Amino acid sequence: MILGVGFFWPFHDSNAAQGGGAMFVILLLLSSVPALWYLLRQRAGKRVAGPLWALLFFEFVASFYALAVPPWQMPDEPQHMAHVEIQRRAGTAAAQRIAVNRLNPNDRVVNSSVEADVVASVRETNTVKLLPGARPALDQHHVPGPSELLHPPLYYQVAATLTSPFGSAPLLVRLALVRVLGIVFGAWTVWACGAVGRLLWPTRARMAEVPMALAAGLPTFAVFAGAANSDTLANLLGALLVLVLVVAVVQRPTLRRPVLLGSAVVALVVLGVLTKRTVVPLFFVIPVAALLRTGRRR
C-alpha cells in the first residue's frame, strides 16, 4: 500500500528521470518565492517586500501538510485533477464540451481515459476508505466527488501547463506538482496580507505584520494551500485585488498612479472571473474603495 511509503508518495512507481525531474521542478517552484521576494526588495524596498521569514515558514508548514496528507484526500481533489488532466490532454474547449455533455468522439475517449486513470490511482493508493462517499462512485468506475468541469479554466490551464512535461509520469507526480503550485500561490497570498497590514499601519510595525502572521500561521489555510484546487489561485487574486484597492485609498495620488491602479484592478477582475466565481463578491469592494479615495482627495 502506498500509505506505507509516507512522505515519498509523489515518487511512487516513477523512474529516476521522472522522479528527479519532478523534484527539480518542486524545488524550483518553492525557491521562486524567496527569489522573487529578493528581487522585490531590491526594486521596491524593504517595506514593500516585508519579512521573508513568514513566507518561508508558510512554505515549510504547507509543504509538510502537502506531503503528509495522502493523495486524493484534499477536498474534491480527484475531480480537480480530472479537470487538469482533461485540459492538459485535450485543451479548454474539450473540457467545456464535456462539462455540458456535448462530447465529440475524441472527447469521449479523453474523458474515459482520464476517469480510468484517476480511478485507478485512487484505488492503488488505497485511500478510498478515507475518502467520504468514494466507494459507490469507484464501483461504477467514476471519479468520486462533484464535477469541477464547469469551473472557469484559468487555474486548470496553469496547472496543465506546469504538468505537461510530465505527461508520461505517473499521475501522482502531476498531483504533487499541482499541490506545490498551490503552496506558491498561498505564499504570495500571505505576502499580500502583510502588504495590506503595512499600508494600514505604517507607523506600528508589530500591528502591521499581524495580517501576515495570521495568514502564515493558520493551519487550515496552510493545509488547503497544498491542494489541487482552484481556490488557491482565487485566494491569491482576491488578496491582490484588496491590496491594490488599499493602495488606491491610502497612498497619495500621482499622475501615473490612477492609470496603473486602474489597469491592475481591471486585470485582477478579469483573471478572477477566469479563475472562480467565488471571487465575484469582492468586486463590490471596488466602488467602496473609489468613494473612499474620492473622499480623501477633497
> What pLDDT score was predicted for residue 102?
94
pLDDT of 96 > 50? The answer is yes
156 and 202 together in one domain: no
| Within-domain flag for 36 | yes
Handedness of CA 32, 63, 22, 122 (dihedral sign): negative
Confidence of residue 280 (pLDDT cuts 50, 70, 90): confident
Looking at the chain, the whole-number percentage of residues with pLDDT higher than 70 is 93
Q: Which of 146, 173, 200 is the last residue of a domain?
A: 173
Mean pLDDT is lowest, of 15-19, 47-51, 198-202, 206-210, for 206-210
275 and 205 together in one domain: yes
> What pLDDT score was predicted for residue 273?
94
Tell me the pLDDT tens digit for each residue of 120-130: 999 888 777 66
What would the grid cell of residue 204 be?
506600528
164 and 182 together in one domain: no
pLDDT of 5 > 50? The answer is no
**Per the structure, how many domains does the chain have?**
2
Decide: pTM greater than 0.85.
yes
- Across 270-285, average pLDDT: 88
Candidate ranges 191-205, 231-245, 277-291; pick with highest mean pLDDT: 231-245
292 and 197 together in one domain: yes
214 and 234 together in one domain: yes
Q: Which of 126, 154, 173 is the last residue of a domain?
A: 173
> What pLDDT score was predicted for residue 6?
57
Tell me the pLDDT tens digit for each residue of 223-274: 999 999 999 999 999 999 999 999 988 876 654 577 888 899 999 999 999 9
| Within-domain flag for 202 | yes
| Within-domain flag for 226 | yes
| Within-domain flag for 1 | no
Q: Which of 173, 208, 237 is the last residue of a domain?
A: 173
63 and 183 together in one domain: yes
| Within-domain flag for 271 | yes
| Within-domain flag for 231 | yes
| Within-domain flag for 215 | yes
Confidence of residue 43 (pLDDT cuts 50, 70, 90): very high
d(CA 144, CA 161): 24
Which has the higher per-residue pLDDT, 94 or 284? 94
Q: What is the mean pLDDT of the chain?
A: 90
Tell me the pLDDT tens digit for each residue of 47-57: 999 999 999 99
Confidence of residue 4 (pLDDT cuts 50, 70, 90): very low
> What pLDDT score was predicted for residue 133?
74
Which has the higher per-residue pLDDT, 289 or 147? 147
Which residue range is the domain that position 249 belongs to?
A: 10-70+177-297
49 and 184 together in one domain: yes
Confidence of residue 2 (pLDDT cuts 50, 70, 90): very low
| Within-domain flag for 2 | no
Confidence of residue 92 (pLDDT cuts 50, 70, 90): very high
Three-state secondary structure string covering 169-215? CCHHHHHHHHHHHHHHHHHHHHHHHHHHHHHHCCCCHHHHCHHHHHH
Tell me the pLDDT tens digit for each residue of 139-187: 888 999 899 999 999 999 999 999 999 999 999 999 999 999 999 999 9
Instruction: For 219-283, give the DSSP string.
Output: HHHHHHHTSS-THHHHHHHHHHHHHHHHHHHHSPP-SSHHHHHHHHHHHHHHHHHTT-GGGGGGG
